Amino acid sequence: MSNFGNSKFALTEEGISGELYDRLERAPDTELDDLATMMTSDQLKEEHVFTGINGGLKLWKGPRQMRELSEDTLVIENPLYEDSLVVPGDVLRYAGQKGGRAQVDQRISEIEEGTNGHRRELFIDKIINAEGSLAYNRNYFFATDHVFGQSGQMSNLVTFDISDDAGDVPSDQRGTAASPSSQIMGKAILRGIKTILGFKNNDGNKFRNSGARSFKVVCGLEYMEAVAGALGVVVHPSGATNLTPVAINAFGDKFDLNFAWLPEYTGTQIDVYRTDGSFKALIGQETDEFDVAVLGEDSEHWKKNYEAWFGVSLRRGTGYGEPRSACRVKLQN
């Protein structure tokens, strides 16, 4: 949350640079961070090695059964990103100038929010393009023909037919693929969850998704009301939303379900992501600290332009993780 209007930093080079650094370091997580394994990186790129997901303990019969590691790798680059703040000389030299602090405070808030929102934008790009982008197993992330070791062919790209899969939902309460009812959306969400729970590991046994309890649904604005209704989340006319996770009884256990709506996400589909466990669907990496550079009163920039320049930069990258931790459900009539 931004500190705009509540800051008491000194209107000096040291005060402004310190406030920039402090706010960026304390920036809250985005609503998509729980879809990803987050890590710190100090490299231009990271090579991720995926060793495969194998079963746990089994009955010892005869010699040990050796489980070989797979050698799948995925390289995620960390491009350099930057933003800057320019403060006129009069604002620094005459700190009491009316409106000076408010202007600087507002610009710092914009940098804070923009920097945090940038990571969200990178994740959104991965989500939207997942059907045409490669995962570590050299298949598209959302695909119908995933194979991992001895798993056999599996699909994390499934369809939900409103006519054939509606079950006991009356025909006049189903809606359409473009505008489904909450009852239909609930069944589509469960289709995604059941698909994730049914995935197999690299040795062909049930994947440890059987212990999954927390999921997040990602949808576009067109589906927001139906998804909210399916999860029992109250959406107020103002757009404010009660995002407290809702426990839904299903299969005899309780699941913690939540959702995120993305204006950029379009089409008659939803994504379901597992948000607990060790293997997340996405990967997020960035440098441990932001770099804050200052060109102040002792710089040539000040002498030429009579202004101070504050620049922030960091390296950040996102990529695809485990396809078995996500499922895309396409609704059709």
Both tokens of residue 134?
A: 């490669």
Task: Give pLDDT tens digits for 221-265.
Answer: 999 999 998 988 655 444 445 444 443 444 445 678 899 999 999
CA dist 175 and 323 (Å) reads 30
Query: Chain-wide mean pLDDT for the chain?
Result: 84
Task: Give pLDDT tens digits for 106-155.
Answer: 899 999 899 889 999 999 999 999 999 999 989 999 999 998 887 889 99
pLDDT of residue 115: 87
Both tokens of residue 5?
A: 């209007």
The answer to pTM > 0.85 is no
Between residues 332 and 255, which one has the greater pLDDT? 332
Our measurement of the distance from residue 266's CA atom to the centroid of its chain's CA atoms, rounded to an integer in Å, reads 17
Structural fold of domain 11-52+70-127+284-318: Major capsid protein gp5 fold (3.30.2400)
Domain range annotation of the chain: 11-52+70-127+284-318, 155-280+320-329
| 61 pLDDT above the threshold of 70 | no
The tally of CA atoms less than 13 A away on the side-chain side of residue 223 is 32
Angle, alpha carbons 268-270-274 (nearest 5°): 170
| Residue 221: DSSP 8-state | G
Task: Give pLDDT tens digits for 259-274.
Answer: 999 999 999 999 999 9
